[in-house]
Amino acid sequence: MSSQGIRSKVSQTASYTCFCRACAHAERDKRFRGPDSIAQVFIPFLPKIIFMKWGLLRTLVMKRVVPRGIYEYVSARTKLFDEIYISAIDEVLPQIVILGAGFDTRAWRFKQRNHATRVFETDAPVTQQMKKKLLEKKGVAFPEELNFTPIDFEEEDIAEVLGRAGYRRDLKSLFLWEGVTMYLSEEAVAGTLEFIRENAAAGSRIVFDYVRASVLRRENTLYGEAAIHKTVFNTGEEWRFGIEDGAIESYLSEHGFKLTAHYSPGELQKKYLTADDGTTCGRINETHCIVIATVIK
């Protein structure tokens, strides 16, 4: 989707990811069941009834319509990002910034555990307005610690926008950047990392996912790669950024970050979809990886 499109309507990929999280929460298998109990608030009534209640139909759609392994990837990614978010509020990290928040629900799901951490959700105004409207319609109260921070990423400076919202650059922070980098230009990704490095205290962390650079070249050597290309193309939200295999540590170092953890698709599958006896409840799409990094000062 063009920047103009994102300004005028809600991102299709944000809606799609939300739908996957809602469906995952309805799964019976405890290994696969997703943790997002609020995502269904954003799903229209009829699809909610059909896909939340009818497990066989949900399974059929997810296997035949959704690109192979993406449903599993979204479920695993949600769990990992949840763990990082919980760790931050449990250690009373002063600030969490969610970049391109979409229909993220962590501020609501973990509000009982959050006693002192301010949460900033940044996104295009049209997406935030729709999110707030649907939550208000369902009578879902907004957490006191949450600050909606609308921003036109093409026209506004994120440091200035966050500053006006009360963000403090002298405090240690966590940045969540989920399902975003692949849709940005290389310059935009570098610019965001530079913003964080210059406007976050030493020890601040970022977690984000990215696609492998070979995917952008359409080498089609990875599980689920061909199908996800078609889906992304149909949404009009083109993938533009990727990182070569084995280059993530040097890439982060060049931009002022130290690699803390890196999760390949296989590692995510082992961690979130595999039982102690080695059996799995699904295979994860191999196009994405997830990284955790620390700001170096």
Residue closest to 151 by CA, chosen among 169, 141, 165, 171: 165
Find how far residue 171's CA is from the centre of its chain.
Answer: 23
| Tens-digit pLDDT profile for residues 231-266 | 777 777 789 999 999 999 999 999 999 999 999 999
Query: Can you give the pLDDT at residue 47?
Result: 66
Question: Where is pLDDT greater, at 158 or 51?
Answer: 158
CA quadruple 27, 29, 32, 35: dihedral sign: positive
Burial of 65 (0-12, 13-18, 19+ CB in 10 A): exposed
| Tens-digit pLDDT profile for residues 142-184 | 999 999 999 987 788 999 999 999 999 999 999 999 999 999 9
Query: Can you give the pLDDT at residue 9?
Result: 66
Two tokens, residue 9: 């309507």
Percent of the chain with pLDDT strictly greater than 70: 90
Query: What is the mean pLDDT of the segment spanning 58-84?
Result: 85
For the cut 60, the answer to whether the pLDDT of residue 269 exceeds it is yes
Find how far residue 156's CA is from the centre of its chain.
Answer: 22
For the cut 50, the answer to whether the pLDDT of residue 23 exceeds it is yes
Beta bridge pairs of residue 149: 122
Domains and CATH numbers, the chain: 3-295 (3.40.50.150)
Query: What is the mean pLDDT of the segment spanning 70-76?
Result: 93
Residue 118 sits at φ, ψ, to 5 deg, of -80, 140
Query: Can you give the pLDDT at residue 63?
Result: 65
Q: How far apart are CA 264 and CA 254, in angstroms?
A: 21
CA distances from 286 to 28, 181, 222 (A): 24, 16, 6
Query: Can you give the pLDDT at residue 52?
Result: 64
**pTM of model > 0.85:** yes
Q: What is the pairing mode between strands 118-123 and 95-99? A: parallel
Query: Can you give the pLDDT at residue 19?
Result: 87
Q: What is the mean pLDDT of the chain?
A: 89
Band of pLDDT at residue 5, cut at 50, 70 and 90: very low
CB atoms within 10 A of CB 177: 22
